[in-house]
Structure 1
Amino acid sequence: MGLAERRKTLGYSQEKLAESLGVDRTTVGRWESGKIAPQPSQRPALASILGISLHELEALLSPSQTAEQGAARQKSSDHPSAGDPDEMIRREFLRILTISGALTALPFDEAEALADGVHRGNPADFARMNSHLWQVYQLARSKRTVYPVVRDQLATLNEALAGGRRGNTPPLLNAAADLFQLAGEVAFDANRYVDAASSYALAASVSKEAGAYDLWACALVRHAYVDVSEHRYRQAAEVLSAAERVAARGDGTLSTRHWVASVQAEAHAGLGDLTGCEKALARAEEVQHLADNSSNGGWLRFDGTRLAEERGARYVQLGRFDLADETLKQALDQSALAFGHSYRRRGAVLVDLAVIGAKRRDPDQVVDYAREALDLAHASSSGYIARRLRSLCDEFGPLSRDQRVAGLGAEIATLRTP
């Protein structure tokens, strides 16, 4: 009996099992097909739901894993020229650079040398590779395309850490904390909250060990944002308070503490605290007094350019639609310059404007803005935009009787997430 058969025997659908575990339905499907295996942190809960021991769970998973490995071996034998794993990783990295259009200034020879340095365990090359991967992630329309290289970079980094080279540990720990945060971002965008939270927790732990306060604070902010996305605002506020204390020990020339404040504003808005939200936004806006190099474009990207849209979104949360409407429309007018390649940012503003339309019972505003956001969700495969659009449907109320709004809701309901 395999995992799918055990699930069906107990009367669980893939959707129900996924909901019980806090993962996406497609994740369960990939477990059952053997494309991926459950994370160690997920296995106790999975075994408990299925009414079996961890040892029995391993037995259920092994047939799928064996089949997958056999298929991989067959594919390798069919294509003996494919090369060794290191060469395949290098090719995948270079392929993603080409597809995404990122780093066009990086010569091919330099990219190959960088990949070689990573596989030799050079800490400086790990840091440079991570920086490039963040750029690829930001420019990629579909964030999941970055996952294969992030996964392989993690595997290589683990090997370097296991080697325990003297003098290299602190830089390697920094590189690990950096990469764990990127892995969490990819998982978060794909609605894999459990995986994202685990990645952020690892990043925080490794950063703490390395004494890298800004990395540590950023990992805590990202972890808190998982709670924010699930509307657990009080828990998020507690984590953000810890992030604020850590950031205070970091580099004052970086924007870390200002990013903490911007997410604290969202937590305060979720709790209905207008005064706390305004104070946090004011602290966040102090980033404008920092030098241009206050963010690194990787694990720390907060530079204040999105504060207008964030302020508008907070007013939406607080029900101050008069303030939100003007602020968000100004942000949207500036979007070509402000958003750049970020479908996610533009999509968020569009959904917020559609929410205002729903609150005002204005079907035209709902349809105009939500339709464009839906197009962006299709173009980017962004789980974040999809989640926001589904939340919008909860605001339709009487507008659902409008044929255009009803049709829009039906399209959103069929929107697939990664």
Structure 2
Amino acid sequence: MGLAERRKALGYSQEELAQLLGVDRTTVGRWENGRVYPQPPQRRGLAAVLEVSLEELDSLLGPLRGSARETGGNQSSEPPNAGDPDEMIRRAFLRILSVSGALTVLPVDEAEALAEGVRGGVPADFARMNSHLWQVYQLSRSKEAVYPVVRDQLATLNDALTGHHGSPRPLLNAAADLFQLAGEVAFDGNRYADAAASYALAASVSKDAQAYDLWACALVRHAYVDMSERRYRQAAQMLDAAERLAGRGDRNLSTRHWVSSVQAEAYAALGDLEACERAMDRAETVRDLTADSVNGGWLRFDGARLAEERGSRYVRLGRLGLAEEALERALAQTALAPGQSYRRRGAVLTDLAAIGAKRRDAEQVVAYGKEAISLARASGSGYVGRRLRGLCDEFGPLSRDHRVGELRAEIATLGTP
């Protein structure tokens, strides 16, 4: 039996299945005809809707058409992801990496000879545009909406790199900055492989530019991918490297404080209360920095989220009283802040629902959970959806309560934008 047969056996049309998973009908069609595989978060939702295990889902999906297994080793004339915008942006990333790597090893006069002039902008223009894009990303309800603009900026940067006069370092910084933004968009959409690739490219270019703060921030973001897939020890190792790099960076920036805050999250997941609290205390010293210590782009850590971050760590560690106090304070802050991120408020609500689950308080779970679902749908945030799916693991005996059961069913319908 294939995927289409299983769908039909359960009485779903392609449109109905797509609606349940939050994807387009054509995406379901591509899964069924073997052109692409579902992304990891989509696979979990698809398996739940089709009432099969992940292993059974693999057998339903079968091999991709055009793969070596189906063609006897011959490459298909039309790759499964031909024309896929994500594949196009990956190729552009690799092109920038290749060109920037060449520029860093060539003498300045030879680098200048690569082209006749700068086409599409100067380094200062890229820094300003990237900073603007980060602001748009931060304020956008739907993070995916920023993606087309990132692609346009990437194309312009490609042109500038091949025609740049002088030191390549400012453009390398701009490329590393842009890679991190593209990674954030992919991460919010649960496209972990794309996010990890973008962060790895950002780290590589930052290394070439000897930009230690950019480099450390790329590793922090990469650690978030590991934590999202519950590889906490690997995340802690990545963050240790980021801590060493941040120590070589600009002491006027908040890089090292952000590293400490994320280290606290990894330690909490590993159950190490002492290390978690030490890391949070280090993060708190960000308040000692001046107001211009945050660049507003790839480094946005200013301590404004410390209450919710501390609360989230305490939830993970089972310190519910301390967690609730911090999260309620954070919830009030997110209600008052202008242009506040749906993603940020949704995460706080999910943590408060998790406290209710640990206390076996179905009313608290449902009240906070439903509001978080509403924000996830309004914003299309894969991040909030992912947090809500993690909440389901906390339900335990509460799953027998029909209200919690209905909440679980609503969470299952949250798909990847």
TM-score range, shorter chain: 0.7 to 0.9
TM-superposed CA distance for 1:49, in Å, is 7.0
Contact 1:23 1:194 (C-alpha < 8 Å) held by counterparts:
no
Q: Which residue of 2 aligns with 1:140?
A: 140
* Correspondence for 2:255: 256
Greater Cα shift, 254-263 or 47-56: 47-56
1:8 to partner: Cα distance: 5.9
Q: Give 1:18 deviation, angstroms.
A: 3.0
Q: Per-residue displacement from partner, 1:84-136 (whole Å, max 9, x unpaired)?
A: xxxxxxxxxxxxxxxxxxxxxxxxxxxxxxxxx99623111111110111111
| Cα distance change on mapping 1:53 and 1:161 into 2, 3 Å | farther
Question: In the alignment, is residue 151 of structure 1 matched against residue 151 of structure 2?
Answer: yes
Equivalent residues of 1:174, 1:210 under 8 A apart: yes
**Matching residue's letter, 2:147:** Y
Deviations 1:317-373 (A, max 9, x none): 111112111111121122234584211111111000001101111011001101110
User: Judging changes above 3 Å, is the alpha-carbon distance between structure 1 residues 382 and 54 closer, same or farther for their aligned structure 2 residues?
Assistant: farther
In the superposition, relative to structure 1, how do residues 265 and 47 fare at CA in structure 2: closer, same or farther (>3 Å)? farther
Find the aligned partners of 1:46 and 1:259 in 2 and give their Cα distance. 41
Instruction: Show the counterpart of 2:331.
Output: 332
TM-score (norm 2): 0.76
1:241-265 residue CA offsets vs partner (Å, 9 max, x unmatched): 1101100011000000000000000
2-structure distance, mates of 1:365, 1:5:
39
Matches within 5 A, 1:257-296: 257-296=256-295
**Post-superposition shift, 1:184?**
0.2
What corresponds to 1:307 in structure 2? 306
Q: State how far apart, in whole Å, the 2-side matches of 1:65 and 1:340 are.
A: 35
Q: Do the aligned residues in 1 keep the contact of 2:261 with 2:279 (CA within 8 Å)?
A: yes
Shift in alpha-carbon separation, 1:64–1:13, aligned structure 2, 3 A:
closer
Inter-partner Cα distance in structure 1 for 2:81 and 2:330: 52
Aligned to 1:232: 231
Q: Cα–Cα, structure 1 residues 275 and 147, in superposed 2: closer, same or farther, change >3 Å? A: same
Aligned amino acid, residue 209 of structure 2: A
CA distance in 2 between counterparts of 1:55 and 1:330 reads: 60
Which letter maps to 1:321?
L
Q: Which AA in structure 2 matches 1:268?
A: Y
What's 2:69 paired with? 51
Q: Which residue of 2 aligns with 1:209?
A: 208
Q: Is the 8 A contact 1:177 1:215 kept in 2?
A: yes
Deviation at 1:417, TM superposition (A): 2.0
Change (3 A) 1:339 1:202: farther
Q: Which amino acid aligns with 1:237?
A: A
**CA 1:256–1:340 in structure 2 vs 1: closer, same or farther (change >3 Å)?**
same
In 2, are the aligned partners of 1:261 and 1:281 still within 8 Å (CA)?
Answer: yes
Bigger helix fraction: 1
Q: In the TM superposition, what is the alpha-carbon distance from 1:229 to its structure 2 partner? A: 1.2
Q: Distance in 2 between matches of 1:315 and 1:7?
A: 40
**SS of equivalent residue, structure 2 residue 79:** helix
Give the drift of 1:416: 2.2
**Cα offset for 1:404?**
1.5
- From 18, 41, 44, the counterpart of 2:38: 18
Which has the bigger relative contact order, CA under 8 A and spacing at least 6? 2
Find the counterpart in structure 2 of residue 110 from structure 1. none
Question: Residue deviations 1:133-172, cap 9 Å, x none?
Answer: 1111111110111100101111221222123x23141110
**Alpha-carbon distance in structure 1 between the residues aligned to 2:240 and 2:71:** 39
Query: How has the CA–CA distance of structure 1 residues 339 and 365 changed in structure 2, closer, same or farther, with 3 Å as cutoff?
Result: farther
C-alpha distance in structure 1 between counterparts of 2:280 and 2:260, whole Å: 7
Runs of 4+ deviating beyond 4 Å: 3-9, 22-26, 45-50, 52-58, 62-66
**Structure-1 residue corresponding to 2:106:** none
Q: Is the 8 A contact 1:339 1:345 kept in 2?
A: no
In 2, Cα distance between the equivalents of 1:7 and 1:348?
A: 31
* Distance across 1 between alignment mates of 2:214 and 2:350: 31
**Other-structure match for 2:296:** 297
Alignment partner, residue 126 of structure 2 = 126
Q: How far apart, in 2, do the equivalents of 1:120 and 1:213 lie?
A: 27
Q: What percent identity do the matched residue pairs reach?
A: 67
Distance in 2 between the 1:63 and 1:201 partners? 22
TM-score by length of 1: 0.76
Alignment of 1:105-116 (within 5 A): none
The equivalent residue for 1:176 is 175
Distance (whole Å) between structure 2 residues aligned to residue 63 and residue 278 of structure 1: 45
C-alpha change, 1:339 and 1:314, in structure 2 (3 Å) is farther
Q: Is the 8 A contact 1:23 1:191 kept in 2?
A: yes
In structure 2, the residue matched to 1:101 is none
CA–CA distance in 1 between the matches of 2:136 and 2:120?
Answer: 22
TM-superposed CA distance for 1:57, in Å, is 4.4
Partner amino acid for 2:352? L
Summarize the Cα distance change of 1:7–1:323 in structure 2 as closer, same or farther, 3 Å threshold. Answer: closer
Corresponding letter in the other structure for 2:143 = K
Partners of 1:54 and 1:381 in 2: CA distance: 41
Distance 1:269 1:63 in 2: 39
Gaps of 5+ in 2: 1-26, 45-62, 86-116
Structure 1 residues 341, 5: CA separation in 2 closer, same or farther (over 3 Å shift)? closer
Give the distance between the partners of 1:297 and 1:220, measured in 2 at CA.
18
Q: Deviations over 1:283-310 (max 9, x none)?
A: 0000000001111111000000100100
The AA in structure 2 aligned to 1:146 is V
Q: What SS does the corresponding residue of 2:38 show, helix, strand or coil?
A: helix
Letter in 2 for 1:18: P
> What is the rounded CA distance, in whole Å, between the counterparts of 1:370 and 1:5 in structure 2?
32
- Computed over aligned residues only, the root mean square deviation of the Cα atoms, in angstroms, reads 3.1
**Count of aligned pairs:** 343
Q: CA deviation at 1:51?
A: 2.3
Q: Which amino acid aligns with 1:378?
A: R
